[in-house]
Structure 1
Amino acid sequence: MTDRRPRGSSALLRVALVLFVAGFIAIAAIFLVPAVGGNEPPLWLYLTAMIAAPLGFVLALVFALFSGRRAR
């Protein structure tokens, strides 16, 4: 049998995982920065958490939908 998945599909999954993990690390850092340093987390950390985690999740959903088999 032939593999009908496009070549870029595994790349899409890797990008989705990297973005999601980066967002998750940013979320953890938002809680750790005040606990360790006593300062407010920087704006770029909030923006990374708000953009990277949801975007990675959505890209993973897109990968799952496109890589699934079609019903016959």
Structure 2
Amino acid sequence: MTNSPPPASPGPRRPSDRLLHLAVAFVGIGVLAVIGIFATPLVTDGRPGLWLYLLAMLVPVGFLLALGYALWSGRRAR
């Protein structure tokens, strides 16, 4: 049996990967808030709270972060 080298590790993460994860988290939280806005009148007699509307505003913020990630990671390395 021959000794084969261990598989290479994926390497350190780039800082731009954090931006993508943050963007996905913001969009996910915002979508859950939108679902909560529509589900609140179905479940209760009350109106959705202001905090749900503020959390729903994370969707466009996440979209802008994802757009920034796409533009930043698409640059050619020098």
Q: TM-score range by the shorter chain?
A: 0.7 to 0.9
**AA aligned opposite 1:53:** V
Structure 2: segments with no counterpart, 5+ residues: 1-12
1:44 aligns with 2:51: yes
In structure 1, the partner of 2:19 is 12
Higher relative contact order structure (alpha carbons within 8 Å, sequence separation ≥ 6): 1
1:7 is displaced (CA, Å) by 1.6
**Partner of residue 65 from structure 2, selected from 56, 59, 69:** 59
CA RMSD of superposed structures (Å):
1.3
List structure 1 segments (4+ residues) > 6 angstroms apart after TM superposition.
none
TM-score by length of 2: 0.76
Q: Determine which structure has more spread, i.e. the larger CA radius of gyration.
A: 2
Structure 1: segments with no counterpart, 5+ residues: 1-5
Higher helix share: 1
TM-score by length of 1: 0.82
**Partner of residue 23 from structure 1, selected from 21, 30, 33:** 30
1:69 is displaced (CA, Å) by 4.0
